[in-house]
Amino acid sequence: MQVEGKVIICDTIDDAGVTILKKAGLIVEYKPDIESDELLMSVKDCDVIIVRSRTKITKKVIDSASIVKIIARVGVGLDNIDTNYAESKGIKILNASEAAMNAVSELVIGHMIALSRNIPKANDGIKNGKWLKKELVGGELRGKYLGIVGVGNIGRNVGRIAKCLRMNLLGYDIYPINQDYVREVGLIKTDLRTLLENSDFVTFHVPLTEKTRHLINSETLSYMKPTAFLINTSRGEIIDEESLFRTLSSKGIAGAALDVFEVEPPTNTNLIQLPNIICSPHIAAQTKEAQELASTVIAEKVIQTLLSNR
Ligand code: NAD
């Protein structure tokens, strides 16, 4: 099916989606490093703007894109797009909501095992000529309680994998959690405080909103067990990093793994240098499979939406 229009791609995306868009007859401008002034000029004659997380689609960009019909995010979180303003102007917002689900879930499990088995310390020790066998007695995931905050696509998938590892699941969400899922994995629904008080691992899968910004702060961290681990692959701003620093420094919790930070790359060196924290550079969705899937899904959704608008 052929479709007319001009698409600008403002961040690096997998080739698969670019090929699909071109094959459908669309003019594609691929500008993965585009910066603000050029962006304002380039979007003027575009029907579609495609971004990942680097490019911010502000009111100013939307006003400049006078004929734009679709803004698409090759990924999940929409916090880099002023969605309210775009939708008020009749612009359709698209995302690839399930494309990153498996990639993120596998990184969460990887971080949980890395935390509980001290893999980074073991690796550093060996590379520095130290045989830390006696010091590095770890814990197992089996039988432990995993608290899932935000039981959406990713949270549910993490729960399914954790169930296979014979963990027990607690879940908190502001919306009702699907009953079939609850039965499938034996999840216990709780409020946030009960989840934090009873979990051995807590993983966050909520979007960044006014309600989730600093959801984890000195008060909520104080509910967690001193033996518990926290894993955040959602958005950095849901954790108050100063409070996390104080809690980790005083051994209020056992450890944390962060893939996302309040400022990226992180500038909070006190926090990231602590011995009981593991960091990764926002790579939860950075797998070949997830990137290809997200790019393909978005290309197909863009074409479908343009066709249905004709
Ligand atoms: P989703 O929309 O399927 O699930 C989010 C869940 O959070 C929903 O069930 C929603 O009801 C719940 N929720 C919303 N506000 C809440 C609140 N205040 N308290 C408790 N629950 C709340 O989204 P998803 O696909 O599971 O992704 C979750 C988040 O993960 C995304 O918003 C994105 O920010 C992040 N993410 C990060 C990466 C990465 O590379 N690190 C990749 C993909 C997604």
Local structure of 309: helix, strand or coil:
helix
Q: Whose CA is nearest to atom 17 of ligand 1?
A: 174
Q: Answer for the pair 61, 46: CB distance below 8 angstroms, yes or no.
A: no
Q: Check residue 36 and give its pLDDT.
A: 85
The CATH superfamily label for domain 6-97+288-308 reads: NAD(P)-binding Rossmann-like Domain (3.40.50.720)
pLDDT, position 309 = 84
Would you name the residues annotated as active-site residues?
235, 264, 282
Please identify, by atom number, the ligand 1 atom nearest to the C-alpha of residue 284: 40
Q: 210: Cβ below 6 Å to ligand 1?
A: no
CA of residue 199 to ligand 1 center, whole Å? 19
Specify the CATH class of 101-279 in words. Answer: alpha beta
Q: Residue 191's pLDDT is what?
A: 98
Q: Cα–Cα distance between 100 and 285 in angstroms, integer?
A: 5
153 CB near ligand 1 (under 6 Å): yes
Fold: same for 6-97+288-308 and 101-279: yes
Strands 48-51, 145-149: pairing kind: unpaired
CA 46/CA 69 separation, integer angstroms: 8
pLDDT given for residue 10 in this prediction? 97
- Using DSSP, state whether 38 is helix, strand or coil: helix
d(CA 310, CA 174): 38
CA angle 152, 156, 161 (to 5 degrees): 155
Would you give per-residue pLDDT tens digits along the chain (310 residues)? 799 999 999 999 999 999 999 999 999 999 999 998 999 999 999 999 999 999 999 999 999 999 999 999 999 989 999 999 999 999 999 999 889 999 999 999 999 999 999 999 999 999 999 999 999 999 999 999 999 999 999 999 999 999 999 999 999 999 999 999 999 999 999 999 999 999 999 999 999 999 999 999 999 999 999 999 999 999 999 999 999 999 999 999 999 999 999 999 999 999 999 999 999 999 999 999 999 999 999 999 999 999 998 7
Q: What is the value of pTM for the model shown?
A: 0.93
The domains of the chain are located at 6-97+288-308, 101-279
Q: CA 265, CA 244: separation in Å to the nearest integer?
A: 17
Distance between CA atoms of residues 114 and 121, nearest Å: 9
Average pLDDT, the chain: 97
